[in-house]
Amino acid sequence: MVKVEFLGPMAQESIELEAKTLADVATQLQKIDSIAAWLDKCAVAVNDQMTADLGMVLKEGDKISILPPVCGG
């Protein structure tokens, strides 16, 4: 199981998923309407490291963070 958390304005409870890679996470999140609408503009961190690798292999207990558009300052 990996844990997926949704940051900032997404206001979505964390969920747990079975996933071997980030691609598996993508497939499952795309099926949840309230989340799917955000995905094209969200970045992703695994265990707090930003990543651009959809093939990234996940292990038990990994934390995946979904980061919607930002505006600091």
Closest Cα to residue 54, out of 26, 23, 17?
23
Decide whether 61 or 73 has the Cβ nearer to other proteins: 73
φ, ψ for residue 26 (rounded to 5)? -55, -50
Decide whether 9 or 61 has the Cβ nearer to other proteins: 9
Binding of other proteins at residue 52 (CB under 8 A)?
yes
Binding of other proteins at residue 71 (CB under 8 A)?
yes
Q: Which of 13, 31, 60, 72 touches other proteins (CB under 8 A)?
A: 72
Strand, coil or helix: 16? strand
